[in-house]
Amino acid sequence: MSAGPRRCSRLLIVLSALLISGCAGGGAGVFDGALAWITGLVTRSRGEAIAGATVTLVETGQQSTTDAAGRYVIGTDHRGRGTLRAEAPEFLTLEWPVTLAGGVTTHNLRLVSMADFDAALFRELTGATDTRGTWRWDASTVTYYINRTGAYRPAFDAPLREAFTQWSMLTRRAVTFAEGGPDSAIQISFVASEPCGVAGAAGCAGVTRVTSQGAIRGALIELHAGYATDLGLAIHEVGHTLSFTGHSPNASDVMYYRMNAATAPGNQEAAAVTVLYDNPPGTTLTNVRYPAAQTSAAATAAPAASASIVAPAARPPHAFPAMPAQAPPALSALPDIGAMLRGWLGRPGCLLPLPFFCNSGSSGPTLRIW
């Protein structure tokens, strides 16, 4: 993602082994101190309340129905690990782990409606084509390492943790993230100046490089220390590591290529990541499956949207160009990445006008630059 008025993000993906690259506790307040209380909001991704949702503490069967503001409250004797299940008509059921030690624990739960799924945006975000599969993590737990040296400050931790939590919830825990050591699959570091290697106004606030071989294998995130407290930036760059190799054309979306006020994925972005992680690595547009139908009649009707995946809507302004027809070059023949990026950044319109495809194909190495 890019900085100030001009933020950009670029993403490199190398297919093949070659690498070029909330849950806050609250005070007891009015709650009975003898019980552990779980409370929070059930909302769509962007925060719109879902009234009438049912939240269940699975271990005890205790339930709460959300009010008009989306709030639920459960008081329980249960201690230790538990599971919250949130259900609402037309939304996909979510289960989320909790730890109960007494007092009040807040868990805000985000639900996804398949009615929000937009096939064109899915294609834009994932870079999926009919012949080349999408990429995603195939591990259920992925570790990330925060390099606390250089330009790092402690204030950078919270946005990253929140970003990983938000995305994990939207995958419905198909993938969860845990902080790990220096050998973690996702490496995050901070630099005092813009990390994209471009000067002046074209500078960027964050850059993510992803390596992939059938599935995502690793990712490197570099954040500009001047912007690394920005939650939207953290969500954007972490979103790239989940295989959102493209950007949203919608200026209010968190995966838009410039920084904006977003502090959560948009509802359509949320539906896109949910669908992606309901499918195995390598899924293509033609064999994508939708999450299992929900119990309500309205929800079972929602997957009708699958008809649109066969013929995605016309692409908005940030459309990919057609794949070049020439055969893939040898990796040794790949041009200098920095020079190539600067060339693309120099084009009018936006910092990241078009992805650059060195080559394409399901078996050969693929390099893409944003």
- Binding residues for Zn ion, total number by CB under 5 A: 1
- Please give the residues from 194 up to 223 whose contact with Zn ion meets the rule CB under 5 A: none
Beta carbon of residue 114, minimum distance to Zn ion (angstroms, whole number)? 25
Beta carbon of residue 198, minimum distance to Zn ion (angstroms, whole number)? 14
Residue of 127, 130, 124, 116 lying closest to 317 (CA atoms):
124
Beta carbon of residue 236, minimum distance to Zn ion (angstroms, whole number)? 6
Task: Tell me which residue has its CB nearest to Zn ion.
Answer: 9
DSSP code string of 197-257: S--GGG-BSEEEEEEESSSEEEEEEEEETTTTT-HHHHHHHHHHHTT--S--S-TTSTTSS
Beta carbon of residue 242, minimum distance to Zn ion (angstroms, whole number)? 12
If the CB atoms of residues 4 and 364 are measured against Zn ion, the closer one turns out to be 4
Beta carbon of residue 65, minimum distance to Zn ion (angstroms, whole number)? 39
- Please give the residues from 4 up to 43 whose contact with Zn ion meets the rule CB under 5 A: 9
Residue of 345, 18, 3, 360 lying closest to 207 (CA atoms):
3
If the CB atoms of residues 9 and 294 are measured against Zn ion, the closer one turns out to be 9
- What's the Rg (C-alpha) of the chain? 21
- Please give the residues from 270 up to 309 whose contact with Zn ion meets the rule CB under 5 A: none
Beta carbon of residue 207, minimum distance to Zn ion (angstroms, whole number)? 8
If the CB atoms of residues 163 and 302 are measured against Zn ion, the closer one turns out to be 163
Instruction: Determine the interface stretch with Zn ion among 3-11, 46-54, 108-116, 136-144 (rule: CB under 5 A).
Output: 3-11
If the CB atoms of residues 169 and 233 are measured against Zn ion, the closer one turns out to be 233
If the CB atoms of residues 204 and 225 are measured against Zn ion, the closer one turns out to be 204
What does the DSSP 8-state code read for residue 19? -
If the CB atoms of residues 9 and 66 are measured against Zn ion, the closer one turns out to be 9
Beta-strand ranges (E) seen in the chain are 2-3, 6-7, 11-15, 25-26, 36-43, 54-57, 62-65, 71-76, 80-87, 94-100, 103-106, 109-110, 141-146, 176-179, 186-191, 206-212, 216-224, 356-357, 367-369
| Rounded Cα distance, 145 and 322, in Å | 36
Residues that bind Zn ion (CB under 5 A): 9
